[in-house]
Structure 1
Amino acid sequence: MTQHIQVNGKPESLAASTLDALLHAKGVAPGAKGVAVALNGMVVPAAHWHETTLSPGDELEIVRPFSGG
């Protein structure tokens, strides 16, 4: 059975073991400027992305800067 997490309110397969690996798969560079991540309602500083493990049922919010107006 596939295990899932929620990313920005949408279910996704849990395919990465750490927050850093998940962000890398989404094209977010380590320590990217202006990117904020909350895991289960708690902000995770970029310095801790590599050591933050993901578990089934986790809820992530990833906020990235965008240009335009």
Structure 2
Amino acid sequence: MTITVNGQEHTFSESNTVLDVLTQLNQHDQGGIAVALNDCVVPKSNWNNSQLSDGDKILIIKASQGG
């Protein structure tokens, strides 16, 4: 399955959910991130339930401090 993450294509053999992809990319336990699947925000509570299809696009946004 090919999923585009932040503009880069990644191939995953077993990625069924957003959480699976985040886990494989070592992003799942980082605080301060937001995820969009095909331009729709996915609440953290739904990461494990959001099913993926070949060709989906995920955007991972990391919060940062600033002023």
In the superposition, the TM-score normalised over structure 1's length comes to: 0.78
Partner of 1:57: 55
- What do residues 19-41 of structure 1 show as CA deviations (whole Å, max 9, x unaligned)? 11111112221xx4311000000
Say whether residues 1:4 and 2:2 are aligned partners: yes
Q: 1:47 aligns with which of 32, 45, 52?
A: 45
Partner of 1:26: 25
More strand by share: 2
- Aligned residue pairs, count: 64
Q: CA RMSD in A?
A: 1.9
Moved >4 Å (runs of 4+): none
Q: 1:5 corresponds to which letter in structure 2?
A: I
In the superposition, the TM-score normalised over structure 2's length comes to: 0.80
Query: Taking every aligned residue pair, what percent have the same amino acid on both sides?
Result: 33
